[in-house]
């Protein structure tokens, strides 16, 4: 009686060993670091770049541990000695390298490589425990208004052409100006535009021999465009953070035109900064014919210089923009093996693309990549302090210029990309959604972990004191069986931490509360079992029968008691956000782990000690 087959003992031992292995990385404290990458995913960082970074840090007396080149030259990670040096090191490196690089704050893992190769990584810590990176971004609402006016201008020109109304239309600042030969043409233009664009307000006046119509956007519509730009950018940023796999992020609006992004714990912050800040929009334009007026065309250079041409002239009229992209995925051209992006448009985008291409067979269609960048210069203020000034600008380059063989629909592909990494990044940005307006990083700082360190210390102290006090009470009440319950409780904590690490769950302060709750439930399960065994002994049954009966009769009660807790934890995780999810996941894992350690774990120990023996009494 009270014996397990060998495989059950081996199963418990194997689970304990695996749990210890996957919980162990949480003992390794990460190093403060600065991560450097190119603004473009295709930029390669060499050993010479690393030496340049080391020289700049040494010259400014910033101690560092090492510089590491990662991801085949896409990133350089500089491990620092002191966390307080991160911001200063970031500024020194950014100035030394100049524009074209993203220098971001990070935390570098110290887990041994052989453990990481086997998938053993520490838990991610929330912003309230580990600190993190705080970004403040400014949405260029003026750019959103100008972009909307540009679309209006293109639409008005197309509408006047379709209705054969002769006139010249130009965008002038925040207004659109139309010049017509007579009152009749001007009146027809005003009527046509009013039907299509009701938000525009028209004013007509005569200037010399011309009749001039000025279309402007009223203040209320300006506010709507600004709100839409910020809201759309907010949604896009959340999608991009989700694509990056960042746990427990904070993305929220601040004021009229600013957005706060906080990324807790160990994150690839250089990649995040590059992805979050990129406009990464596309414009599809037809190549301009030679007879097109200079005012109706623009010259752009090619992004990939290996195409054999420096650049090309494209029409100012935009067929569609990246906002019409419903889905995008990276792939390879089966014929050339070069990287490509497969595009799926929404229904309106497909209609506009089909309408533009069916009448322009054998003409070339250009794909224009628009990216917000910044030029950095340094100056000195009145007090003699060095001031960094960043001037944003839009870089527009052609990434593809292909001949239209057939009318295009909702699906087609973009080729001409320089690398698979660039294709993957472009697909990610388009899939997550285009920004309605460019954004600039106004502020970047680390959220200090000092309060988090105190929280962790307090939480660990609470668990240690709780375990010690619980162990004393268990041993006092249940003697040897109290020791078995204490061992099971320790196993429960190790198993919970291992599961959190394997699932890449984020530990927050409410999560620590969930761990403590799971420990309490594990103790409660052992108390139920031990009380039941004592009742069986009082009823006069033999010690072996009392052990078997205690576990068999208590198991159903334990499962029933914890079922409601599991259901509540699942509901909290499903509908909760942020810290609520952290509490729910640790509670759920703790409840499930307590079932195993209390019912199977302690039973294995008891069976190993008492199984198959003739017992006169047991120490309980």
pLDDT tens-place string over residues 142-159 = 878 887 888 788 888 888
**What is the pLDDT, as a whole number, of residue 244?**
57
| Mean pLDDT within 99-124 | 82
Beta-carbon contacts of 440 under 8 Å, excluding residues fewer than 6 positions away, are 137, 138, 140, 277, 372, 374, 390, 392
Strand-pairing partners, residue 378, are 388
**What is the pLDDT, as a whole number, of residue 265?**
53
Q: Which helix (H) or strand (E) holds 345?
A: strand 339-345
**What is the pLDDT, as a whole number, of residue 21?**
93
Residues 344, 323, 400, 139: is their CA dihedral positive or negative? negative
Domains 31-108 and 281-427 share a fold: no
Mean residue pLDDT of the chain comes to: 81
Dist CA 235 CA 385 (whole Å):
38
Dist CA 340 CA 145 (whole Å):
32
Quick one: pLDDT band at residue 507, thresholds 50, 70, 90? confident
The fold adopted by the segment(s) 31-108 is VC0802-like (3.30.2130)
SS3 state at 373 = strand
pLDDT in tens, 225-254: 888 888 888 887 887 776 555 555 778 888
Dist CA 346 CA 353 (whole Å):
10
Q: How far is CA 555 from CA 268, 600, 620, in A?
A: 45, 10, 19
**What is the pLDDT, as a whole number, of residue 267?**
47
Residue 44 CB burial class (10 angstroms; 0-12, 13-18, ≥19) = exposed
Quick one: pLDDT band at residue 169, thresholds 50, 70, 90? confident
CATH number for the domain whose boundaries are 281-427:
3.30.1360.200
Residues 431, 266, 91, 441: is their CA dihedral positive or negative? positive
| The CATH number, out of the four listed (3.40.50.10440, 3.40.1170.20, 1.20.1640.10, 1.20.1440.230), of the domain defined by the range 6-25+450-610 | 1.20.1640.10
Measuring CA to CA, which residue among 205, 200, 128, 105 is closest to residue 441? 105
Q: Is 80 exceeded by the pLDDT of residue 290?
A: yes
Quick one: pLDDT band at residue 574, thresholds 50, 70, 90? confident
Number of H helices, E strands in the chain: 16, 23
Considering only the top CATH level, what class is 142-219? Answer: alpha beta
pLDDT in tens, 170-212: 887 778 888 898 888 888 888 888 888 888 888 888 888 888 8
pLDDT in tens, 442-452: 877 656 555 55
Quick one: pLDDT band at residue 83, thresholds 50, 70, 90? confident
**What is the pLDDT, as a whole number, of residue 452?**
59
Average the pLDDT over each of 32-46, 165-179, 292-306, 590-604 and give the range with the smallest value.
Answer: 32-46
**What is the pLDDT, as a whole number, of residue 16?**
92
| Mean pLDDT within 304-318 | 78
For residues 314 and 366, is the Cβ–Cβ distance under 8 A?
yes
Q: For residue 478, what are its two tokens?
A: 């249940």
Average the pLDDT over each of 77-81, 257-261, 424-428 and give the range with the smallest value.
Answer: 424-428
Tell which wins on pLDDT, 545 or 250. Answer: 545
Q: Is 60 exceeded by the pLDDT of residue 129?
A: yes
- Look up tokens 């920004």; give the residue: 435
**What is the pLDDT, as a whole number, of residue 19?**
92
**What is the pLDDT, as a whole number, of residue 273?**
67
Structural domain boundaries in the chain: 6-25+450-610, 31-108, 142-219, 281-427
Interior CA angle at 14 toward 12 and 19, to 5°?
95
Instruction: Pick the most confident of 10-14, 127-131, 207-211, 224-228.
Output: 10-14
- As a whole-number percent, the residues of the chain with pLDDT over 70 amount to 90
Quick one: pLDDT band at residue 268, thresholds 50, 70, 90? low
Dist CA 193 CA 296 (whole Å):
20
Beta-carbon contacts of 240 under 8 Å, excluding residues fewer than 6 positions away, are 275, 276, 428, 429, 432, 433
**What is the pLDDT, as a whole number, of residue 578?**
64
């Amino acid at each position: 009686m009270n014996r397990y087959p060998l495989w059950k003992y081996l199963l418990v031992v194997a689970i304990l060993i695996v749990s210890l292995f996957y919980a162990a990385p949480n003992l390794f404290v990460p190093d403060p670091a600065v991560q450097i990458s190119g603004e473009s995913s295709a930029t390669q960082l060499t050993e010479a770049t690393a030496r340049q970074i080391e020289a700049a840090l040494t010259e400014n007396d910033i101690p560092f541990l090492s510089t590491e080149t990662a991801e085949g030259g896409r990133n350089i990670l500089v491990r620092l000695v002191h966390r307080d040096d991160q911001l200063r090191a970031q500024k020194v490196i950014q100035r030394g390298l100049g524009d074209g690089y993203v220098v971001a704050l990070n935390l570098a893992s110290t887990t041994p490589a052989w453990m990481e190769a086997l998938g053993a990584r520490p838990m991610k810590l929330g912003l309230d425990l580990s600190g993190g990176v705080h970004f403040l971004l400014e949405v260029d609402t003026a750019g959103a208004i100008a972009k909307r006016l540009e679309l209006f201008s293109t639409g008005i020109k197309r509408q006047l052409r379709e209705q054969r109304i002769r006139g010249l239309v130009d965008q002038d600042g925040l207004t659109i100006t139309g010049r017509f030969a007579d009152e009749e043409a001007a009146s027809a233009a005003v009527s046509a535009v009013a039907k299509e664009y009701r938000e525009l307000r028209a004013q007509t006046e005569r200037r010399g021999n011309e009749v001039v119509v000025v279309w402007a956007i009223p203040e209320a519509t300006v506010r709507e465009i600004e709100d839409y730009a910020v809201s759309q950018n907010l949604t896009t940023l959340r999608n991009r953070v989700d694509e990056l796999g960042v746990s427990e992020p904070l993305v929220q609006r601040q004021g009229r035109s600013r957005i706060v992004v906080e990324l807790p714990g160990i994150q690839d912050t250089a990649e995040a900064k590059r992805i979050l800040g990129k406009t990464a929009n596309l414009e599809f334009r037809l190549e301009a014919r030679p007879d097109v007026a200079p005012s109706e065309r623009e010259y752009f250079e090619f992004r990939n210089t290996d195409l054999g041409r420096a650049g090309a002239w494209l029409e100012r009229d935009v067929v569609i923009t990246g906002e019409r992209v419903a889905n995008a995925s990276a792939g390879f051209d089966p014929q050339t093996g070069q990287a490509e992006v497969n595009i799926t448009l929404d229904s309106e985008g497909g209609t506009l693309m089909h309408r533009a291409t069916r009448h322009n067979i054998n003409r070339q269609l250009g794909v224009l990549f628009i990216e917000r960048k910044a030029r950095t210069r340094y100056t000195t203020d009145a007090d003699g302090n060095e001031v960094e000034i960043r001037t944003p600008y839009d870089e527009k380059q052609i990434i593809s210029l292909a001949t239209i063989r057939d009318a295009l629909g909702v699906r087609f592909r973009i080729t001409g990309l320089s690398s698979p990494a660039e294709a993957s990044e472009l697909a990610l940005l388009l899939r997550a959604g285009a920004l309605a307006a460019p954004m600039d990083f106004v502020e970047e700082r680390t959220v200090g972990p000092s309060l988090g360190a105190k929280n962790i210390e307090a939480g660990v102290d609470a668990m240690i004191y709780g375990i010690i006090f619980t162990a004393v009470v268990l041993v006092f009440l249940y003697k040897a069986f109290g020791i078995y319950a204490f061992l099971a409780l320790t196993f429960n904590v190790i198993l919970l931490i291992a599961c959190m690490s394997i699932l890449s769950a984020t530990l927050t302060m409410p999560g620590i509360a969930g761990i403590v709750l799971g420990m309490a439930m594990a103790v409660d399960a052992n108390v139920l079992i031990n009380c039941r065994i004592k009742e069986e002994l009082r009823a006069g049954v033999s010690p072996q029968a009392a052990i078997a009966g205690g576990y068999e009769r208590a198991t159903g009660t334990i499962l029933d008691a914890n079922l409601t807790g599991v259901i509540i934890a699942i509901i909290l995780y499903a509908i909760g956000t942020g810290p609520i999810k952290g509490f729910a996941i640790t509670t759920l894992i703790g409840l499930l782990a307590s079932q195993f350690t209390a019912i199977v774990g302690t039973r294995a120990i008891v069976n190993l000690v008492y199984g198959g023996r003739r017992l006169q009494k047991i120490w309980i």
